[in-house]
Structure 1
Amino acid sequence: MDIRPGRRNYRGMTQDADALIVGGGLNGPATALALAGAELRVALIDAAEPDVRMDPGFDGRAYNLGLASRRFLTVVGVWDEIGPQSQPVREVVLEDARPGERAVAALAHFDHDEIDEGPAAQIVEDRVLRPALLRACQAHPRIAIHAPATVLATRRDDAGAEADLSTGETLRAPLLIACDGRDSPLARAAGIRRTGWGYDQTGLVCAVEHEKDHQGVARQRFLPGGPFAVLPLPGGRRSSLVWTERTAEARRIHALPDADYRAEVEARMGGALGAVTLAGKRWMYPLKLSVAQSWIAPRLALVGDAAHAVHPIAGQGLNLGLRDAAALAEVLAEAKRRGEDIGASLVLERYQTWRRFDGVSLALGMDAVNRLFSSDDPALRLIRDAGVRLATALRPARRAFMREAAGVSGDLPKMLRGERV
């Protein structure tokens, strides 16, 4: 590694932060807040203009935040701001349908009281969550934001890590953290390979206003082209749609004028919410599974989509990223208290051991569910529908499903239990 000559080793080397976090989307600021709450100094490097990130314009994007994620956001100090602007999911309904079909019998129904801790999920709009995270970062004394700034080069060795920025600055820290997306340039530069495949599916995202109140019900309709999720937004008469189509069909739909696009939406919604009108922007993005073969490299840790890009069928992408952030913060905080070098390989191995199995297994699980339900084969539909009904017929099974969806099962980091590190 090309650390510049003349610098002292890690213990004597001047450090700008304990960790350099690259990526200013959602996982980057969330990770910065988690580490800062664990009394680590953080430099957050974001290529976008701060004003762009803080834009409060409504664009229809929203996130399904599980109970564990809400606990995380409470610990880092942002839930009090975003909670009143969120929509609790009071019921979840699964349906197997075809475009144009109206009322169909539900495959499964889950009520919010299936678990004792409260609603398993709440829907938060991007325009609410993103600015709240950034404001919290700007206000935190242990977080320095460098934006707009891109990383031109990085160097890593036993002495620590350096990042050269487009601003002319060179930042130094014991650790680099990649929150720079599913095609992470930092991971690629470190020689980390990825395993994955495409689906010949494309995601479509938009928001609609509807004549009937959604009453806090989230619907997942399994259609031949892929899952069609209707996520309730605050106010009762708006919902965010996240749906999957075969790529050629998705491109055709995305190119339609608003009136025809709305007709395609109504054909898939099943009429439960009455007539709809489009609200905000329309989005389209390719879908694929992409999992890093290693979540760490010397002086480098991957978080969020940089480690695992999953199918959006269950809305777990951001929840997984927050689990990564919480686990990494806990591992680094404990290492620092013991006097360890927080960027050492033995420390980072603890993070990878803790998080990798969960991330990979969930990614593969979502892949399997998508493949199973993105089919119109009559025999397969009969078998899978019977399986879902049988698996969710008993309350203990429904409760286990909801606890998994809420993110409160398994070996949870402290922040996901609502505890400070």
Structure 2
Amino acid sequence: MQSFDVVIAGGGMVGLALACSLQGMGLRIAVLEHQEPDASALGECPELRVSAINAASERLLQHIGVWDDILARRASAYQGMEVWDRDSFGKIAFRADEYGFSHLGHIIENKVIQQALWQRASQLPDITLMAPVTLKDVAWGENEAFVTLEDGRMLTARLMVGADGAQSWLRQHADIPLTFWDYGHSALVATIRTEKPHDSVARQVFHGDGILAFLPFSDPHLSSIVWSLPPDEAQRLAGLGNDDFNKALAMAFDLRLGVCEVESHRQTFPLVGRYARSFAAQRLVLVGDAAHTVHPLAGQGVNLGFMDAAELASELKRLQRQGKDIGQYLYLRRYERRRKHGAAVMLAGMQGFRDLFEGNNPAKKLLRDIGLTLADNLPGVKPTLVRQAMGLNDLPEWLS
């Protein structure tokens, strides 16, 4: 039987970032993952699943020593944002250099981030990577958790961390209730080549039944799209021939970047909001999608998860320094309070924003157009929005 201080279920982006953040604290850390990340070289066409990594997450990734590796693999900085309401006057736009920043964030393939983090974790002496493995059982003792794997191996942990995604086995096994709601939309993702250059600007347009975002890659004519639509319409668009899809996409985007050409297959997945009733329990804590999932409206999902990892690492460091039991719920409640608040604010904000921009009700349309125009023109509003978009209003103290 192997003994660890922290066992992290899930070797995705958030679980690995947490493991790397705990290096050097004198803790023995294990990361359990179903499948070792694909180490094959990246293809010419970017992966479909990407994240908009904000400045706060960039600081965390710099701190744990993977940022340069991520940039060397493939990452695309964006310097501006534009949001508008189709067939109306509401719009807002801003650029990083107007507020003293070189960029607002980076569009990075999830595979790139996970590869870099896995490689980094494999080099750190405090971390044991275990893959492929599957959890079979966890029994909660007074002073430690007893972990049984499908292959028969047994581990003990002073603290279990659920970083095993939206369908978290660990969360379900611990009987932590989950509040969830169907957004009534599916996301359609694809890689698109555009006639006009994107100028490193992330763009998002709201129309009656959907939200369409173009996220710029380093190739000036290549973008990743995330198109939030009613499920039937998402499936219909996914099944169109390339020519018909390209025309529908360009029209939905107001021809802002001219003619569009799809360069990848199209993938759809349902959009569901989730919020665990508890982010912590005795000898257990949840991070990332195991604790919360949000609408991809502002690309904040993985950024929320990275801030969970940063906050938890900070809290465990404090407890370790004070000689306290890192698995005691009494002490983990501080992490829970802080991160539940951050996630709740984000979930409520995204839901309210989505509700406001859904449908073509004339009164609602006028309200959102006036709101966008005021935000674009009132002094002091855009600097706050820029800092929010960059994640700088939700930084743990040690990353400030």
Cα deviation, residue 336, structure 1: 0.7
| Residues 195 and 291, structure 1, Cα contact 8 Å, conserved in 2 | yes
The equivalent of 1:158 in structure 2 is 142
| Residues 37 and 115, structure 2, Cα contact 8 Å, conserved in 1 | no
| Residues 14 and 287, structure 2, Cα contact 8 Å, conserved in 1 | yes
Give the TM-score, by structure 2 length.
0.94
Quote the Cα distance in structure 1 between the aligned partners of 2:26 and 2:223: 39
Match of 1:29 among 10, 16, 24: 16
The equivalent of 1:97 in structure 2 is 86
What one-letter code is carried by the residue in structure 1 that aligns with 2:34? A
Quote the Cα distance in structure 2 between the aligned partners of 1:37 and 1:231: 36
RMSD after superposition: 1.8
After superposition, the Cα gap between the structure-2 partners of 1:184 and 1:269, relative to the gap in structure 1 and judged at 3 Å, is: same
Gap regions ≥5 residues in structure 2? none
Deviation track 1:47-80 (CA, whole Å, cap 9, x = no partner) reads 12443x6563432322111111100000011111
The equivalent of 2:32 in structure 1 is 45
Paired residue total: 397
Q: Is 2:366 the counterpart of 1:382?
A: yes
What one-letter code is carried by the residue in structure 2 that aligns with 1:94? V
SS at match of 1:172: strand
Cα deviation, residue 165, structure 1: 1.3
After superposition, the Cα gap between the structure-2 partners of 1:30 and 1:411, relative to the gap in structure 1 and judged at 3 Å, is: closer
Cα deviation, residue 106, structure 1: 5.9
| Residues 182 and 271, structure 2, Cα contact 8 Å, conserved in 1 | yes
Identity of aligned residues (%): 35
Quote the Cα distance in structure 1 between the aligned partners of 2:303 and 2:201: 20
Cα deviation, residue 276, structure 1: 2.1
SS at match of 2:193: strand
| Residues 275 and 291, structure 2, Cα contact 8 Å, conserved in 1 | yes
Quote the Cα distance in structure 1 between the aligned partners of 2:26 and 2:200: 38
Quote the Cα distance in structure 2 between the aligned partners of 1:50 and 1:384: 43
Matches within 5 A, 1:338-417: 338-410=322-394, 412-414=396-398, 416-417=399-400
Match of 2:104 among 112, 120, 128: 120
The equivalent of 2:42 in structure 1 is 56
After superposition, the Cα gap between the structure-2 partners of 1:413 and 1:177, relative to the gap in structure 1 and judged at 3 Å, is: farther
| Residues 93 and 218, structure 1, Cα contact 8 Å, conserved in 2 | yes
SS at match of 1:280: coil
What one-letter code is carried by the residue in structure 1 that aligns with 2:59? R
- The ranges of structure 1 where at least 4 consecutive aligned residues each deviate by more than 4 angstroms after the TM superposition are none
The equivalent of 2:71 in structure 1 is 83
Deviation track 1:303-340 (CA, whole Å, cap 9, x = no partner) reads 01111111110110000000000000010011011111
After superposition, the Cα gap between the structure-2 partners of 1:117 and 1:335, relative to the gap in structure 1 and judged at 3 Å, is: farther
Quote the Cα distance in structure 2 between the aligned partners of 1:280 and 1:140: 36
Match of 1:197 among 175, 181, 184: 181
Cα deviation, residue 105, structure 1: 5.2
Give the TM-score, by structure 1 length.
0.90
| Residues 231 and 239, structure 1, Cα contact 8 Å, conserved in 2 | yes
Cα deviation, residue 168, structure 1: 2.2
| Residues 55 and 127, structure 1, Cα contact 8 Å, conserved in 2 | no
| Residues 90 and 370, structure 2, Cα contact 8 Å, conserved in 1 | no
